[in-house]
Chains A and B, each alone.
Chain A
Amino acid sequence: MKNTLAISSIIFTLGFLSIPVVQSDSDFSWSLFKNKSNGVKVVRNELYEEECGGCHMAYAPGLLTERSWTKVMAGLEDHFSDNAELDDDSFKQISQFLNANSADKSNYKRSQKFSRNINRANPPLRITKTPYFIREHNEIPDRLVAKNPKVVSFSRCTACHKNADAGSFNEHDINIPGFGRWDD
Chain B
Amino acid sequence: MNILTTSLTVTVSFILGLSAHLVSAEEATLNPVVNEHFITQLGIKADEKLGQQMWQQKFKRKGVSGTGVRSCTDCHGSDLSKAGKHITTGKIIKPMSPTVNSKRLTKVRSIEKWFKRNCKWTLGRECDAQEKANFLYYINSSSSF
Binding site for B on A (CB under 8 A): 54-57, 77, 80-87, 152-153, 155-156
Residues 88-117 of chain B, each 1 if its beta carbon lies under 8 Å from chain A, else 0: 111100000000000000000100010011
Binding site for A on B (CB under 8 A): 64-66, 86, 88-91, 109, 113, 116-118, 120-121
* 13 examples of A-B residue contacts, CB within 8 angstroms: A55-B88, A55-B91, A56-B89, A56-B91, A57-B91, A81-B64, A81-B88, A85-B113, A85-B116, A85-B120, A86-B113, A152-B90, A156-B89
Give Cα A156 to B117, complex, Å: 22
Contacting pair B121 A83 (CB below 8 A) = yes
Contacting pair A80 B88 (CB below 8 A) = yes
Nearest Cβ on chain A to B115's Cβ, whole angstroms:
11
| Contact among A56, A80, A84 with B117 in the assembled complex (CB-CB below 8 Å) | A84
Given contacts A77-B120, A87-B113, A82 and B90 within 8 Å (CB-CB): no
| Contact among B64, B86, B89, B117 with A85 in the assembled complex (CB-CB below 8 Å) | B117
Chain A residues with CB under 8 Å of B113's CB are 85-87
Nearest Cβ on chain A to B57's Cβ, whole angstroms:
18
Give Cα A83 to B64, complex, Å: 12
Given contacts A55-B86, A56-B86, A87-B113, A82 and B121 within 8 Å (CB-CB): yes
Top 5 nearest A-B pairs (CB, nearest first) are A81-B65, A56-B89, A83-B117, A83-B121, A83-B120
**A84 nearest in chain B by CB position:** B117
| Contact among B65, B91, B118 with A83 in the assembled complex (CB-CB below 8 Å) | B118
Contacting pair B66 A81 (CB below 8 A) = yes
**B110 nearest in chain A by CB position:** A50
